[in-house]
């Protein structure tokens, strides 16, 4: 009894702020490292800080997205319902990191390559999106996240209605596939990390397929 009381109190009072700060932590760390770098202090960004930044933000966005997809299976397996209260903010954090990832690509790559010309930056963006498959895929994933982020507020959920909101947010599945492909097509050679991300995503999507197949075969599912 005592244990479940603690868990209930944690879910009610601590889960949301704790999740927020955990999600903010990678960004705060990165900002801190850049502050150290720009002040000439020892930092952890390595010998190619811009590349480190791109990879760190991209990995963080993708991994948070995978975590957001793991919330529902986690709830089903543990039957700890409060976890679903943080699902939306986890998904939204994936969007914020993806936005930073795109901003870093625009600002630290394209803008510098175009000698600080904004027009040149957008020309470079268009060329990359049109020509380079991993950027096409990544940009499609990012653009796909935008409507989901815009509709992530309570007012939007009410305005759309739960049913339509859910249908819209199923877009996260193809977006996650695009994001993993973006990573895989970016790497040189056959690297392990995209396979690991892809494997985890396959498990998370496979779980949903199995669950929906089971639900269909049982016309009157129990309360779960």
Partner 1 sequence: MFFYRKPKPWQGREADVTPRALYINRRQIMAAGGAAAVTGLVGCGGAETEASTSAATAASSTAAAREPAPASGGLQYAETGYSVPDPLTPIDAVTGYNNFYEFGVDKSDPARHAHEMSVDPWSIEVDGHAGRTGRFALEDVVDFGALEERIYRLRCVEAWSMVIPWIGVPLASVLQQFEPTADARYVAFETYLDRREMRGTRFPVLDWPYVEGLRMDEAMNELAFLAVGLYGDVLPNQNGAPVRLVVPWKYGYKSIKSITRISFVSQQPETAWNKAAPNEYGFYSNVNPNRAHPRWSQQTERVIGGNLFNRRETEMFNGYSEQVAHLYAGMDLIENH
Given the rule CB under 8 A, which residues bind partner 1? 42, 44-52, 55-56, 59, 112-113, 131-135, 185-193
> Which CB sits closer to partner 1, 101 or 169?
101
Give the C-alpha separation, 145 to 77, whole Å: 27
The nearest distance, CB 93 to partner 1, in angstroms, is: 18
Q: In whole angstroms, how close is the CB of 36 to partner 1 at the nearest point?
A: 12
Number of H helices and E strands in the chain, helices first, is 11, 0
Closest CA to 102 of 68, 141, 63: 141
Least CB distance from residue 73 to partner 1, whole Å? 25
Please count the other Cβ atoms lying within 10 Å of the Cβ belonging to residue 175: 22
- Residue among 188 and 218 whose Cβ is closer to partner 1: 188
Closest distance between partner 1 and the C-beta of residue 112, in Å? 6
Handedness of CA 103, 104, 110, 116 (dihedral sign): positive
Nearest distance from C-beta of residue 108 to partner 1, angstroms: 8
Residue 80 per-residue DSSP state: -
* Closer Cβ to partner 1, 55 or 89, answer by number: 55
> What does DSSP assign to residue 41?
-
Residue of 31, 65, 224 whose CA lies nearest to 138 = 65
Helices (H), 14-132: 15-38, 49-78, 87-104, 111-113, 118-131
d(CA 39, CA 34): 8
Kindly state the smallest distance separating residue 34's Cβ from partner 1, in Å. 10
Residue 56 or 142 having the CB closest to partner 1: 56
Residues in contact with 98: Cβ distance below 8 Å, sequence separation at least 6, in sequence order: 57, 61, 141, 142, 145, 179
- With respect to partner 1, which residue has the nearer C-beta, 91 or 124? 124
Smallest gap from residue 150 Cβ to partner 1 (A)? 30
Q: Which is nearer to partner 1, 44 or 171 (CB)?
A: 44
Q: Which is nearer to partner 1, 17 or 192 (CB)?
A: 192
């Amino acid at each position: 009894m005592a244990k479940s009381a603690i868990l209930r109190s944690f879910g009610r009072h601590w889960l949301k702020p704790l999740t927020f700060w955990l999600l903010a932590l990678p960004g705060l760390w990165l900002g801190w490292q850049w502050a150290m770098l720009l002040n000439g202090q020892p930092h952890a960004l390595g010998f190619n800080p811009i590349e480190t930044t791109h990879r760190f933000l991209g990995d963080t966005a993708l991994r948070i997205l995978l975590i957001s997809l793991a919330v529902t299976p986690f709830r089903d397996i543990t039957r700890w319902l409060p976890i679903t209260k943080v699902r939306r903010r986890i998904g939204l954090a994936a969007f914020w990191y993806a936005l930073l990832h795109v901003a870093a690509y625009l600002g630290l790559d394209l803008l510098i390559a175009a000698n600080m010309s904004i027009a040149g930056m957008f020309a470079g963006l268009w060329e990359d999106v049109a020509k380079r498959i991993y950027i096409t895929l990544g940009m499609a994933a990012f653009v796909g996240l935008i409507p989901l982020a815009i509709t992530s507020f309570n007012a939007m959920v009410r305005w759309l209605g739960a049913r339509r909101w859910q249908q819209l947010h199923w877009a996260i599945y193809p977006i996650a596939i695009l994001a993993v492909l973006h990573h895989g097509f970016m790497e040189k050679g056959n690297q392990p990390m995209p396979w690991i991300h892809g494997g985890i995503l396959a498990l998370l999507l496979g779980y949903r397929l199995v669950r929906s197949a089971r639900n269909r075969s049982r016309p009157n599912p129990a309360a779960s």
